[in-house]
Every structure is written in C-alpha cells, then in structure tokens.
Amino acid sequence: MITSPLDLASRVRRHPRNFDAFYFINGVLLVLFFLFFGSRFVLAPGLGVGLAGGFVLPTVAGAKAGAVTTNVFISVPRSGVALVDEGMINFTKLGQWLQERAKEHKVPALLIRADQRVPMQDIADIRTMAVAAGFDYVQVAFEEPAAGK
C-alpha cells in the first residue's frame, strides 16, 4: 500500500537557520501599532455601567438641558470612596487630590458621577471639599429618563 504517492516530504526544503528581515520588520510594526493605536483603557480596571447591578446614575428630567463642560471628574461608586485617574481613593485623600487638580486649571470645574445608591450627604461633602480646594463650579451627573417611562 502506498501512503505517499507523490513523495512531497522529500521535496520540501528545510527552514533557513537565520532570521529574515521580514521577521524583524513584522515585530517592529506590531510594537508601533500597539504604541500608536493602543489605549490605556483596554485592560484598565473600570467602572461597570449598566442596569445589571453595576454603576447607575440617577435619572432627572431635564438633565441634558443643564449639561456643562467640566475639566475634572470623579466617580463615586459607593459611600466613602471615589474613583479618580490614579485609582480608588477614600474621602480623606480626596481633598488633597482636588486641591492638586484645581491648581492645574485656570477655571476648575468638577463633575461628580455618583451612583444612585450613594447618599446625598457624601455628594454634599465632596462639593464642600471641592469648593474649599478652589473649584469654581461643581456639577453632579444625572441621566435623562428614557422616553415613555
């Protein structure tokens, strides 16, 4: 019985022992691709937004009409902690963080994105810290209710 009728295995040439220039070019292009088109948010820990028990903003009619541009923002997923660019910090460190951010901008404006389960006292405390840190404007984030609800 013939298992290899064309005997192709004997006609295949061996792999070269040196690396092609294309191997290195391909590696450099991959590195450049990830440097230029990569994002720090691809594998960064984040804040889940959704209705499945995640982070949910409170809804208020007319929220879009009161929207303003801010240059600093924080997220408050639960009471006593805030999520900032550097990670999760507690309210004792938040005052110092706000002072540093207020110095970076000519007209500092803060956006507070608080989960709907966060007590209003925590939002008021953050606003007090922000005003003491030198923020000119403090905005609390709300979502517009869905149509028909």
Parse the chain into domains and list their residue ranges. Answer: 46-149
Find residue 109's DSSP bridge partners: 137
Tell me the backbone φ, ψ of residue 135, rounded to 5 degrees. -75, 135
- pLDDT at residue 52, as a whole number: 52
pLDDT bucket at 65, cuts 50 / 70 / 90? confident
CA distance 108 to 78: 24
- pLDDT at residue 48, as a whole number: 56
Phi-psi region for residue 7, left (φ > 0), alpha (ψ -120 to 50) or beta? left
- pLDDT at residue 12, as a whole number: 79
Which tens digits make up the pLDDT trace of 115-142?
888 899 999 999 999 999 999 989 888 8
Which tens digits make up the pLDDT trace of 89-100?
998 999 999 999
The whole-model pTM stands at 0.61
For domain 46-149, give the CATH number: 3.30.420.270
